[in-house]
Amino acid sequence: MPLMTTKPMFDLAYDGGFAIGAFNVNNMELAQAIVEACAKEKSPCILQISKGARKYANIRYLRHIIDAAVEEYPQLPISIHCDHGDTVDLIKTCINDGYTSVMIDGSHHPYDANVRLTKEVVRIAHAAGVVVEAELGMLGGIEEDVVGMDAAEYEKNVEKFLTDPKQAADYWQQTGIDSLAVAIGTSHGAYKFKHEAKLAFNRIEQIMKTCPGLPLVMHGSSSVPQEFIDLVNKYGGNMPNARGVPEDQIAMAARKYGVCKVNIDTDLRLAMTAKIREVFATKPAEFDPRNYLGPAREAILGMVRRKLHMLNSAGKADAVNAHWEKLGRPLPGYYSRKKAG
């Protein structure tokens, strides 16, 4: 089964009460653990690559690692997604690198500029058979206008950062995007809430009403499980007050609120770090990277499996493949060119 866009996945997820996990890939161990977990759980899967990942790993290496993953699991529906793309040039490069889905994040621009940028990306991506995610509203953590703002400050002002439902409808209509990343109280990283950890479900409901059928995306959706924070801290780390989105709220968003894609990066970092710290602390003589990266890869695998159950996507791979067949096995242009050439 070749790589596919997210369309066959979201078509089923929107009404099917599940969401696809989008996991960030930065190296071989992460890629291996994610796809192995998805294969074991028979779950569709989105591998996403940030600008930082491209810089860290060099996209040539990442591309070959991902090609190997696809080859290893030919029956697994996989999309390759550009996470937080910020310029038309980057998006064009990602399309030429074989991504099947791109995110243009113009949410920090004034609205009109965001619309213009997004429209241009949709024009280019759709011509290449690639789908587009875009964002409205402002998440905490890495986004420019709120960077440096702590969780308490973000929470105090959260209403003004949330996605505006009317604007979302106008944005969808003007740009023709395939999915919308919404700000509903989540933020990136391990320190998401100072006070009550609560998503703005009333806001998602309003967005579902103004944008019926539009697949929604939740960024900043790590749950930062306390047992992993405890392990990190037990073995020499220092992450006090780390806090994520409660898993039952993410599960509810996936089951009932049109959320088709859930972005998870921090929890994979935590699983990996906790295990490496444990090995170093309990076996101080260990110096073979395979003996700490191997257990770290196992820990990531366990974390991803847990997420696939939370998102209710376990067991949905065959249905997504069948839907993809029904749609005529659509391939982004990159793969058609490859086949033709």
Catalytic positions are 83
Residue 91 contact partner, candidates Zn ion, ligand 13P, ligand G3H, none, CB within 5 to 8 A by sort of partner? none
Of 271 and 331, CB closest to ligand 13P: 271
Of 117 and 190, CB closest to ligand 13P: 190
Of 84 and 297, CB closest to ligand G3H: 84
Residue 32 contact partner, candidates ligand 13P, Zn ion, ligand G3H, none, CB within 5 to 8 A by sort of partner? none
Sheet strands (E) in the chain? 20-24, 45-50, 78-85, 101-104, 131-136, 179-182, 216-218, 259-264
Of 220 and 332, CB closest to ligand 13P: 220
Q: Does 53 bind ligand G3H (CB under 6 A)?
A: yes
Stretch that binds ligand 13P, among 253-261, 262-270, 306-314, 320-328 (CB under 6 A): 262-270
Of 270 and 314, CB closest to ligand G3H: 270
Q: Does 83 bind ligand 13P (CB under 6 A)?
A: yes
Of residues 20, 102, 182, 264, which one binds ligand 13P by CB under 6 A? Answer: 264
- In the beta sheet, which residues pair with residue 48? 24, 81
Which 3 state secondary structure label does DSSP give 14?
helix
> How many other β-carbons are positioned within 10 Å of the β-carbon of residue 32?
18
Q: Does 192 bind Zn ion (CB under 5 A)?
A: no
> How many other β-carbons are positioned within 10 Å of the β-carbon of residue 290?
8
Interhelix angle 59-72/28-41, nearest 10 degrees: 20
Q: Does 54 bind ligand G3H (CB under 6 A)?
A: no
Q: Does 310 bind ligand 13P (CB under 6 A)?
A: no
Stretch that binds ligand G3H, among 31-39, 48-56, 60-68, 237-245 (CB under 6 A): 48-56
Of residues 140, 189, 225, 332, which one binds ligand 13P by CB under 6 A? Answer: 189
Q: Which of residues 205-244 bind ligand 13P (CB under 6 A)?
A: 219-222
Of 43 and 266, CB closest to ligand 13P: 266
- In the beta sheet, which residues pair with residue 179? 133
In single-letter form, the type of residue at position 142 comes to I
Interhelix angle 290-310/247-256, nearest 10 degrees: 50
* Maximum pairwise Cα distance, the chain: 60
CA-to-CA dists, residue 42 to 46, 312, 322, angstroms: 13, 11, 13
H/E run at residue 282: helix 266-282
CA-to-CA dists, residue 35 to 162, 191, 264, 313, angstroms: 33, 27, 14, 14
Say how far apart CA 224 and CA 90 lie, in whole Å: 30
Q: Which of residues 118-147 bind ligand G3H (CB under 6 A)?
A: 142
- The site for ligand 13P (CB under 6 A) is made up of 24, 83-84, 188-189, 219-222, 263-267
- The site for ligand G3H (CB under 6 A) is made up of 24, 50, 52-53, 83-84, 142, 188, 265
- The site for Zn ion (CB under 5 A) is made up of 219, 263
